[in-house]
Structure 1
Amino acid sequence: MCGITGWINLASSRQSATEEEAEILRRMCDRMRHRGPDSAGFWFDEKVCLGMRRLSIIDLQTGDQPVFNEDKSIIAMMNGEIYNFRELRSDLEKKGHTFRTKTDTEVLPHLYEEYGEAMLKHLNGMFAFALWDSKKQKLLIARDRFGEKPLFYGIFKDKLIFASEPKVLFEHPCTSKELDLQALRFYLSFDYVPAPFSIYKGIRKLPAAHFLKVENSTVSIEQYWRLSFGEKIDISLEEAVEKLHELLADSVKMRLIADVPLGILLSGGVDSSTVAALAAEHSSGKVKTFSIGFREDSFDESKFSRLVAKHLGTEHHEEILSVEKVADLISDIGHWLDEPLSDGSLIPTYLLARFVKQHVTVALGGDGGDEIFAGYPMYFGHKLVKAYRMIPKFLRRNFIEPVVEALPVSTKNLSFDYKAKRFVRASEYDFAARHHLWFGSFSLLEQEKLLSADVLSSTNGDIYEHARELLSECDANDDIERAQFLDMKLYLAEDILTKVDRASMAVSLEVRAPFLDPRIAEFVAKLPPGYKLNGMQGKFLLKKTVEKLLPKEVLRRPKKGFGIPIAEWLKGRLNPFLHDMLNADRLRKQGIFNGDYVSKLIKNHEQGKVSHHKELWTLLIFQIWFDNFMQN
């Protein structure tokens, strides 16, 4: 795992890099030392400056970057891992290519030399890389299929500047820092800022499965992969189980390759338990598993992780956390979270990564299982909403909705009243809006109350149009598969994987996701929807595949998630901090939010009339980010 950065001069003529530019690049690399504490690498010529920080995982002695082809005319730097690099290297050697190291990154310049931009179709991995073809004077930067590794860029004063994290870009004197108000509206709707946007005006995220090319001072962006649900295969459930087991096992084996200590992130859910079971099956030694727990029962999964660890015979490590310890870390995330992300599991993910890093350098996790195998309750919600809409509107409006809204407020994780109220409120909206209203923070109507008149007048209120545009690319007819497609494009890439990358890289831990193997995603997408969501049971095929590997209690338990007791914290431990950060006078001076409306949200939440924990948490995270990265 690493961090990459650099720039290309878009002007037609330029002299060799100056000492001042070399110092700028060193500063940019130092800003992401946490991503790669082991070493740094640099490359300069008349057109480009490239830099990286390295966390050594494979080929510890000779795997430093940049790497080159035989005549050093092609230069590459990468953040991430190429899991099929051994097969690629073998094929390239048969074609006459020679290698200097054993690192996976070195396949990139040779693969480009052989296939050009089509090289990306050959890669199985998580990556963001930069490649410079000095003969053609062409720069290529690319991001993996699912977006496991981030890449930001912007054009400033005839320079295209890029980096693994946005805060790195601001070390370059050509860049400027300004809040993108339209991106703010996306954040308030989705809890994250979706690609290609970023919270900073003038800075963009390269979307997953895309590459950016600079040639003859022209910048272009292309998509090189799109998951297809349109072409189905005729296969029995038994055959599908056998094939999936084969693909999962191979994916885990590929991701177990490392020259440093490795472990498994074990929550006790089906996804992480599947990874742990297959890792135990294909490891020569005893597998190390790691989990954290909470004293609040509705948020704690530690008993299930212990159950799985005992069942598999792993060397299990566990840390049980107090509310006080976790809540006190809230302000710490502002030091490394350089774009607001209000996922409630961000803090426990960071705590788990910090705990795991004490023992290993690489960890495998279960991310991607819900999106690929239809594990989220929202997927069944799309089925249910069709039946709900068949109920006469006057009954829904005058009976069902008032009853649901009157349900007692619970602070438990994913409580019934929370899910029922969100389901009913979003049921009248179109597919894309409904899907995100079910888990987002602020609807369009709520934003009109929340935001200042200046912000509203300078932004586009159709906050779900971007999701609709993405959905138009999907070739699925089934609503469940359309929801999966949308989640892989947005929620998985911009929330889940961003959260894991930032939290793990903050402590220099590499996290790998075996479910995010393109072979698995492409195979499962070709199967009938009923193999994924069978009645009300999500992950039907996955559970069938691993039913002999895992305890029945794990397979049968309802999905819980990796949350924290935010609703209670905002009334208790974090209440003074909440009032300080969201003080009405402070918000009025800031000029973004309506302070009186926010004060009303806080008051209603404190009195237990309504649980506004999600909305308040989203605002709190924004303010923490704003103080750390816009004010300072």
Structure 2
Amino acid sequence: MERLDEPLADTSLFPTYFISRKAREHVKVVLSGEGGDELFFGYYQQAALARMRNRKDNGMTVLDRAYLSSPDFRGKNAIFQKLCAILKQPISLYLSTSAPARDMSGVNAWAAGKHAIAQAAHDPLYFDRDIYLENDLLRKTDLATSFNSIEGRVPLLDPRIIASAPAFENEFVSGSTSKPILKRMLARYLPEHLVHRPKSGFGLPIRGMLETSSALKYDLEDAISFLEDRELVTIYLPRSRDILIKRYPLACFALVALYRTIQNNERFIGRSN
């Protein structure tokens, strides 16, 4: 984080950085699969949104309020998402799969999120393809590779592939296998157990790290004091930091990332002057 010049609160930056550092020992160019999920309905909530795109779901429902008011427990999100699918609430389902949205426990914030998604619901890929991919995933990959002086190439973002992807939407949405075309192509070159292995996340267990790392806790305290003193953000905080970390771990990490980025820029400006 000492080298960030803009905030990036994606914890998968760190594993990507270390993989890039290891790759540098052997190669100068690496291929990234970024764009596969965002262009080819790789996230199941995209297909759900596509199948129910004509279903109105832009207002708060009883299920939304029950989800927001209930305490956290193991499997809470999975249960909520299944109920959303049964009751045909695609936007609530979509919102619950977004990592930042899981820290939006307030009714007003949740309602605003639903409204924003409803405005773009005619295009189920809009948020992932046009916002998440560009402003998070590609930037993360670029930073991780450039920090290690290797080149990261993204073949799935070839303009010809991007232009042809919408023609296969029906196959992506109606099938039981995600990204079937990509998997059939990869099966020609890779072992089957790699092609069809389950999707797994690449982020860090940030809640556990915040709970056990004194250094991260100090960073969080410094970030909160710094950002509030400068009135850069208005933060409503539980008195107990343990509750804050338990309920809002991703928001905690985002505060630390913002704080460290501002520090980095101030040091750079100081050296320039």
Same fold? TM cut 0.5: yes
C-alpha separation between the residues in 2 aligned to 1:517 and 1:397? Answer: 39
Partner of 1:629: 265
Cα distance change of structure 1 residues 379 and 494 upon mapping to structure 2, 3 Å threshold: same
Which amino acid is 2:2 matched to? G
Alignment match, 2:211: 571
The question of whether the paired residues in 1 share the 8 Å contact of 2:47 and 2:172 is answered with no
Matches within 5 A, 1:75-154: none
Look up the match of 2:155. 514
C-alpha distance in 2 between matches for 1:496 and 1:397: 29
Give the drift of 1:538.
1.6
What is the CA-CA distance between 1:541 and the residue it aligns to? Answer: 2.1
Show the 5 A alignment for 1:466-481. Answer: 471=120
How many Å apart are 1:605 and its aligned residue? 5.0
Which of 404, 408, 417 is equivalent to 2:73? 408
Contact 1:341-1:495 at 8 Å conserved across structures: yes
- Output the amino acid matched with 1:511: G
CA RMSD of superposed structures (Å): 4.1
The one of the two structures with greater contact order (alpha-carbon pairs below 8 A, sep at least 6) is 2
Name the CA shift for 1:576/1:555 in 2 (closer, same or farther; >3 Å): same
Distance 1:594 1:522, change over 3 A: closer
Give the counterpart letter for 1:357 in structure 2: R
Letter in 2 for 1:334: E
Equivalence for 1:604: 243
Tell me, in whole angstroms, the C-alpha distance in 2 between the residues paired with 1:571 and 1:613.
Answer: 9
Shift of residue 388, structure 1, vs aligned partner:
11
Indicate conservation of the 8 Å contact 1:566/1:613, yes or no. Answer: yes
Deviations 1:211-263 (A, max 9, x none): xxxxxxxxxxxxxxxxxxxxxxxxxxxxxxxxxxxxxxxxxxxxxxxxxxxxx
The equivalent of 1:588 in structure 2 is: 228
Residue 413 of structure 1 is matched in structure 2 by none
Preserved contact between residue 48 and residue 90 of structure 2 (Cα < 8 Å): no
TM-score by length of 2: 0.74
CA contact (8 A) 1:381 1:423 kept: no
Say whether residues 1:358 and 2:22 are aligned partners: no
What is the SS of the residue equivalent to 1:582? Answer: helix
Please give the alpha-carbon distance, in whole angstroms, between the structure 1 residues aligned to 2:240 and 2:234. 11
Given the superposition, is the C-alpha separation of residues 546 and 601 from structure 1 closer, same or farther in structure 2, using an over 3 Å criterion? farther
Post-superposition Cα deviations, 1:496-545, rounded to whole Å, max 9, x if no partner, equal 11111122112221111111111122222122x23223344321222233
Residues 494, 351 of structure 1: alpha-carbon distance in 2 compared, 3 angstrom cutoff: same
Paired residue for 1:334? 2
Secondary structure in structure 2 of the residue aligned to 1:363: strand
What are the residue-to-residue correspondences of 1:137-536 with 2, within 5 Å? 333-335=1-3, 337-382=4-49, 396=63, 401=67, 405-406=70-71, 408-409=73-74, 416-418=75-77, 420=79, 435=94, 438-441=97-100, 471=120, 482-527=123-168, 529-536=169-176
Letter in 2 for 1:510: E
Q: How many Å separate the matches in 2 of 1:363 and 1:539? A: 22
Q: Are positions 1:557 and 2:197 aligned together?
A: yes
Match of 1:618 among 231, 251, 254: 254
Output one character per residue of 1:447-473: Cα deviation in whole Å (capped at 9) or x when no partner.
989xxxxxxxxxxxx78998788x4xx
**What do the CA deviations read for 1:430-455 (whole angstroms, capped 9, x no partner)?**
95x97566425267775989xxxxxx
CA 1:538 to 1:363, structure 2 compared with 1: closer, same or farther past 3 Å? same
Query: 1:361: Cα distance to partner?
Result: 1.6
Distance 1:466 1:570 in 2: 31
- 1:627: how far off? 1.7
Return the offset for 1:358. 2.4
Unaligned runs of 5+ residues in structure 1 are: 1-332, 410-415, 450-461, 472-477
Amino acid at match of 2:15: P
Query: Offset of 1:570 from its aligned partner?
Result: 0.9
Letter in 2 for 1:501: D
SS of equivalent to 1:603: helix
Q: CA deviation at 1:621?
A: 1.0
One-letter amino acid of the counterpart of residue 253, structure 2: W
Equivalent residues of 2:141, 2:152 under 8 A apart: yes
Contact 1:362 1:509 in 2 (8 A): yes
3-state SS, counterpart of residue 155 of structure 2: coil
SS of 1:532's partner is helix
The letter for the 1-side match of 2:263 is: D
Rate the CA distance shift 1:598–1:429 in 2: closer, same or farther, 3 A. farther
- Retained in 2: the 8 A contact 1:578–1:620? no
Q: Following superposition, which runs of at least 4 residues in structure 1 exceed 6 angstroms of deviation?
A: 384-389, 422-425, 427-430, 462-469
SS in 1 for 2:124: helix
TM-score for the superposition, normalised by structure 1: 0.35
CA distance in 2, matches of 1:617, 1:423: 28
Deviations 1:263-293 (A, max 9, x none): xxxxxxxxxxxxxxxxxxxxxxxxxxxxxxx
Counterparts in 2 of 1:378 and 1:578: CA distance versus 1, 3 Å: farther
Q: SS at 1:627's partner residue? A: helix
Q: Secondary structure at the match of 1:563?
A: coil
Closer, same or farther: CA 599–624 of 1 in aligned 2, 3 Å: farther
- CA change 1:619–1:378 in 2 (3 A) is farther
Identical counterparts, % of pairs: 24
Q: Give me the whole-angstrom Cα distance separating, in 2, the residues matched to 1:484 and 1:562.
A: 21
In the alignment, the residues of structure 2 paired with residue 630 and residue 464 of structure 1 have an alpha-carbon distance, to the nearest angstrom, of 36
1:423 to 1:343, Cα distance in 2 relative to 1, 3 A: farther
Alignment check: 8 A CA contact 2:36 2:156 kept: yes
The residue identity in structure 2 corresponding to 1:539 is: K
Larger relative helix fraction: 2
C-alpha contact 2:95 2:113 (8 A) present in aligned 1: no
- C-alpha distance in 2, partners of 1:627/1:420? 41
Provide structure 2 residue ranges, at least 5 long, that are not aligned to the other structure. Answer: none
Q: Any idea what the Cα deviations from partners look like across 1:39-67, whole Å, max 9, x if unmatched?
A: xxxxxxxxxxxxxxxxxxxxxxxxxxxxx
1:544 paired with 2:184, answer yes
In 2, the alpha carbon distance for the partners of 1:418 and 1:602 equals 23
